[in-house]
Amino acid sequence: MALIVQKYGGSSVANAESIKRVAKRIVDTRRAGHDVVVAVSAMGDTTDELLDLANEVAPIPAPRELDMLLSSGERISMALLAMAIHSMGFEARSFTGSQAGMITDSQHGAARIVDVTPVRLREALDEGAIVIVAGFQGFNRDTRDITTLGRGGSDTTAVALAAALDADVCEIYSDVDGIFTADPRVIPRAQKLDHISSEEMLELAANGAKVLYIRAVEYARRHGVLIHARSTFSSSEGTYVLGEGMKNPREAEGADMEEPIVAGVATDFSQAKITVAGVPDVPGKAAEIFKIVAKSGANVDMIVQNVSATGRTDISFTVPKADAAAALKALAGEQSEVGFQNLVHDDQIGKLSVVGAGMRTHSGVSAVLFEALSAGGINIEMISTSEIRISVVLRGDDLAEAARTVHTAYGLDGESDATIHAGTGR
Ligand code: ASP
Ligand code: MG
């Protein structure tokens, strides 16, 4: 008998029919003899609809009230799910984030979990009940207000519950089958991974993969939670996300499987490139530029500086498309102080990243990437690397084709096309 935490995303509980299907799945787990704690998201697009409503009544909704509003989405699904389980003859009890002891800081809309005190959940489990917790929300002790954890926060709720209750596994259910070597909508030959290390998962998520939220993976890594990402719509096993020193539960005792060098290829269409052209090539200019950009609130990703032949140089960097306007405005306002010649904004770029822990110990990994791109006649505009990742910026129009070529070059292609359930992964 194990303690299993399950998280169901919005697409898994989009209507009454799906809620009943999820209830059955939960009951099956209980029947198999396990204790079950469930974190549930709001039904379907409820959160987006509530956000739209808020924006209709107020241009800038008050953050405290917005959290009151958004947290209600998960209260609907948790109660309905508990009812559905009840009607199947099983004891289920739903709890809001605050009832569940999800203690956060006071940052409305982006609260961080600071403590989990699941006293009531333990009691309910001890009494044999299935526990349902509203995802995405918590409670701040100082303000005594309800908070939300930011979009996609139910993943983090589930992982935090698993850590606090010392669960055996945290199963994250969505409408995709697990973690793939690439986004199957971009690369049809992408394959489902049996397992992936949490550090590789973090790099993939940070570079465009959308199946799991970064904060949930980080939390799991820090607290030693085993994540199993799988589909609500099939009974097949998904992908295990393994933290440091964790063993793949599917691996036979003692079996030492050779890890692939590259775990996956991520594609990201969400970045824009800004070039600050004709920057005086003297000490301190990069500091000035990136201080201005930071003050605008833009989150810089890749940076490239050219050599200067003329005493001036160009500095290019990427930021999320949504941050570009603010960064450009801030830079333009300080043009004469910094002394650069002009600004170029390019939002037609795409970023391709290859991630694999094997890069640490294998040489020639980047050469495979560059050769594949060269054979495809694809031009590279920027390059950056981390210990386990190589990223390149390309023309956005080239990204899908480049990703397919590179996926093939690393031997990641499956034998047939991946099944896509038209899902979003949420
Ligand atoms: N309902 C919230 C959202 O849509 C939280 C979640 O789904 O995890 O962002
Ligand atoms: Mg949602």
**CATH at residue 337:** 3.30.2130.10
Ligand 1 atom closest to residue 152's alpha carbon, by position in its atom list: 8
Pocket of ligand 1 contains residue 97 by CB under 6 Å: no
| Ligand 2 center from residue 158 Cα (angstroms) | 14
pLDDT value of position 87: 98
> 169 with 277, same domain?
no
Q: Which domain holds residue 167?
A: 3-174
Q: Is 228 part of a structural domain of the chain? A: no
> 169 with 261, same domain?
no
pLDDT value of position 209: 85
Pocket of ligand 1 contains residue 243 by CB under 6 Å: no
Residue 52, domain CATH: 3.40.1160.10
> What is the C-alpha to C-alpha distance for residues 10 and 39, in angstroms, rounded to an integer?
11
Q: Is 179 part of a structural domain of the chain? A: no
295 is in an annotated binding site: no
Which of 142, 158, 174 terminates a domain? The answer is 174
Is the distance from CB of 301 to CB of 327 less than 8 angstroms?
A: no
> 36 with 142, same domain?
yes
Q: Is 117 part of a structural domain of the chain? A: yes
| Ligand 1 center from residue 143 Cα (angstroms) | 23
pLDDT value of position 124: 98
122 is in an annotated binding site: no
Kindly tell me if the per-residue pLDDT of 317 is higher than 60.
Answer: yes
Pocket of ligand 1 contains residue 11 by CB under 6 Å: no
119 is in an annotated binding site: no
Kindly tell me if the per-residue pLDDT of 424 is higher than 70.
Answer: no
Is the distance from CB of 4 to CB of 168 less than 8 angstroms?
A: yes
Kindly tell me if the per-residue pLDDT of 256 is higher than 60.
Answer: no
Q: Is 216 part of a structural domain of the chain? A: no
pLDDT in tens, 343-383: 999 999 999 999 999 999 999 999 999 999 999 999 999 99
> 136 with 273, same domain?
no
Q: Is 343 part of a structural domain of the chain? A: yes
> What is the C-alpha to C-alpha distance for residues 66 and 50, in angstroms, rounded to an integer?
9
> 28 with 135, same domain?
yes
pLDDT in tens, 106-161: 999 999 999 999 999 999 999 999 999 999 999 999 999 999 999 999 999 999 99
Q: Checking DSSP bridges between strand 349-355 and strand 264-268, what pairing results, if any?
A: antiparallel
pLDDT in tens, 388-402: 999 999 999 999 999
DSSP 215-244: HHHHHHHHHTPPEEEEETT--S--EEEE-T
> 272 with 409, same domain?
yes
pLDDT value of position 176: 87
| Ligand 1 center from residue 347 Cα (angstroms) | 28
Query: Could you tell me the pLDDT band of residue 260, with boundaries at 50, 70 and 90?
Result: confident
The torsion angle over the Cα atoms of residues 395, 369, 403 and 355, rounded to 10 degrees, is -110
> 124 with 271, same domain?
no
> 156 with 282, same domain?
no
> 287 with 151, same domain?
no
> 150 with 22, same domain?
yes
pLDDT value of position 257: 64
Q: Is 205 part of a structural domain of the chain? A: no
Which of 126, 147, 174 terminates a domain? The answer is 174
- The domain total for the chain is 2
pTM over 0.85, yes/no: yes
> What is the C-alpha to C-alpha distance for residues 70 and 57, in angstroms, rounded to an integer?
14
| Most informative mutation of 11, 43, 47, 424 for ligand 1 (most atoms within 8 A of CB) | 47
> 420 with 286, same domain?
yes
Q: Is 426 part of a structural domain of the chain? A: yes
> 392 with 292, same domain?
yes
| Ligand 1 center from residue 13 Cα (angstroms) | 12
Kindly tell me if the per-residue pLDDT of 250 is higher than 90.
Answer: no
Q: Is 243 part of a structural domain of the chain? A: no
> What is the C-alpha to C-alpha distance for residues 286 and 283, in angstroms, rounded to an integer?
8
Is the distance from CB of 73 to CB of 40 less than 8 angstroms?
A: no
The torsion angle over the Cα atoms of residues 330, 333, 337 and 343, rounded to 10 degrees, is 70
Which of 174, 208, 234 terminates a domain? The answer is 174
